[in-house]
Amino acid sequence: MQDNIRPESMARINNPELAAAFINEQVEAIQKQVGDKKVLLALSGGVDSSVVAALLIKAIGKQLICVHVNHGLMRKGESEQVIEVFGKQMDANLIYVNAEDRFLDKLAGIADPEQKRKIIGNEFIEVFSEEAEKLEGVEFLAQGTIYPDILESKDGVKAHHNVGGLPNGMTFQLVEPVMLLYKDEVRVVGEALGLPREMVYRQPFPGPGLGVRCLGAITRDRLHALREADAILREEFDKNGLAGKVWQYFISVPDFKSVGVRDGKRYEGWPAIIRAVNTTDAMTATIEEIPYSLLHHITYRITHEVEGINRVVMDLTPKPIGTIEWE
């Protein structure tokens, strides 16, 4: 494991037996590294941070302090699932921070995508830092760094996985138990740790969350419509066997309206844009063909169940030339 390089002899973790052996090895390594000290983890609810949390809970229990920041840009039900799984089922030492108003107030009127990303990233660091400052005896910071993060970085580890943005004088040693695993291996380990399948196989989600799918300046009503429409799309893909066949699928909602008709009256609403792509490396992506009958059903549900949306369209652009996300 020298220089963060995965040994060629390391077996691919692709079955429960190998996952169990990896878990036992990491539990021992974590206990040896941490001793009786406390460990802090930013628990987003994504695959990597969730698996790291479950692994650390198994190794050191209440010595792990998980901080889940709800920035108001999560998909429907995600923060609730984090509370249910880690706070209740696993009895984790979980700090839940509802910072929705704080984030959305900062984002009000900001239309530039890069500005939105910076605001969301900086505000997250601020909230996380404030929580960290309240704690005593924390000497370690756990992170969900995985092997592709290392491979794609010039300096060994991606910048966004480095310790940064925390208050001066607050230094941590890193705990990165899945840093030599690929994403598919992390999922196998997550299943072996008993995490819910829908959490383990959650599709990729950008750091700024729905903030880069609520296109342009974010408003609360449009963000709510986006979250509800996205939940319908995910529900229908799950029910119709597409969840395991499509790498990433989601809704984006732009900041313009078009005229429509509802109940015999003029009705202006936003369009919901469906994006469904397959890829192996996220550098290129192809469009997944969705049966028209299912698209009609999804369109009916979204336009009839989600207030504010009166059209559904589908993005058929591969990457290149279009990026996977709109912003």
> pLDDT tens digits, residue range 34-57?
999 999 999 999 999 999 999 999
Residue-range domains of the chain with CATH: 2-200 (3.40.50.620), 213-314 (3.30.300.10)
Residue 129 pLDDT more than 50? yes
Residue with tokens 């039900």: 77
- For 174, the token pair is 């890193």
- Confirm if 270 and 254 have CB atoms less than 8 A apart: yes
Measured CA to CA in angstroms, residue 320 lies from 58, 198, 282, 283 at distances of 43, 30, 10, 8
Region 11-39 average pLDDT: 96
Q: In terms of pTM, does the model score above 0.95?
A: no
Q: Report the DSSP beta bridge partners of residue 175.
A: 142
How do 64-70 and 38-42 pair as beta strands?
Answer: parallel
DSSP string, 5-50: PPPTTPPP--SHHHHHHHHHHHHHHHHHHHTT-EEEEE--SSHHHH
The share of the chain scoring above pLDDT 90, in percent, equals 80
The share of the chain scoring above pLDDT 70, in percent, equals 93
> pLDDT tens digits, residue range 306-322?
999 999 999 999 999 99
Reduce the secondary structure of 57-95 to three states and give it as a string.
HHHHHHHEEEEEEECCCCCCCHHHHHHHHHHHHCCCEEE
How do 286-287 and 173-175 pair as beta strands?
Answer: unpaired
Determine the Cα–Cα distance for residues 22 and 39; give it in Å rounded to an integer: 20
